[in-house]
Amino acid sequence: MDSYRPRLVTAVAVCALVGGVVLLATTLALSQGPTNPKMEAAARNTPPPAPASPKRWSAHSVAEVEANLASDGNYAAAIARLSSGPEPDPRAVGRIPTLGTPLFVRGLAVGNPDEYLVPVNIGVETIAIIKIGVDAKGLGQIDAVRGWSNAPTFPATTQASAMVIASTAADPAVKAELVWAQIRAVADDLQPFWRLTRASGAVYFLFEDGRLTAAGDMGF
């Protein structure tokens, strides 16, 4: 049977000379004595505990995202990295970023969760976007941050402009919503696009690069 019995070893060391008096510190060290191979193996093979996940917060509406985003455990670090991280955004150095209005983005495909994208601004210019992932209970947390320089503001095309682009004289666009889906080299959760519905019911997608495409041509 393996045996394991620690023993105490006393060590004495000179710590300091104060007012001509030598102070001694006596410490008790725990000597392991004979080792226990099973315990050592277990210690080697046991992974460290995972770091605690940031606490999720209520994100049922734009108002709740505005009120609760700053409480996210990753918020302060995300903002700080823009102005003072290893590779800061030159537009943010020495300035204080502000947040724009959160944008609700609907997950278009089955299994795509809804999200919010929050513009990070320096003055009136958007320099980054914070993605807020939202779970089935309506609780959110920061999932990612994307730098932004494609246009002065985000998204690059406003809702009003998107509707004009998607309209024809005989069949105007009557509805526009910001959505996301995983479309290779075109769109993902940080590259949403406009889903536009014409009066006839025809649906078109307006992507970040300005391309207007019939939804059916993209498999939707």
What is the distance between the alpha carbons of residues 64 and 78, in angstroms, rounded to a whole number?
Answer: 19
Q: Tell me what pLDDT residue 46 has.
A: 53
Q: Lowest-pLDDT range, 40-49, 94-103, 105-114?
A: 40-49
Distances (CA, A) of 9 to 12, 28, 29, 190: 10, 6, 5, 60
What's the whole-model pTM score? 0.75
Contact 143, 107 (CB under 8 A): no
Q: Tell me what pLDDT residue 54 has.
A: 73
Grade residue 86 by pLDDT with cuts at 50, 70 and 90: confident
Grade residue 195 by pLDDT with cuts at 50, 70 and 90: very high
Q: Tell me what pLDDT residue 37 has.
A: 59
In percent, the amount of the chain with pLDDT more than 70 equals 76
Residue-wise pLDDT for 156-171, tens only, equals 999 999 999 999 999 9
Contact 54, 73 (CB under 8 A): yes
Closest CA to 105 of 208, 164, 193: 193
Q: Tell me what pLDDT residue 4 has.
A: 36
Residue 9 pLDDT > 90: no
Residue 88 pLDDT > 60: yes
Distances (CA, A) of 200 to 96, 139, 174, 203, 211: 46, 37, 9, 9, 21
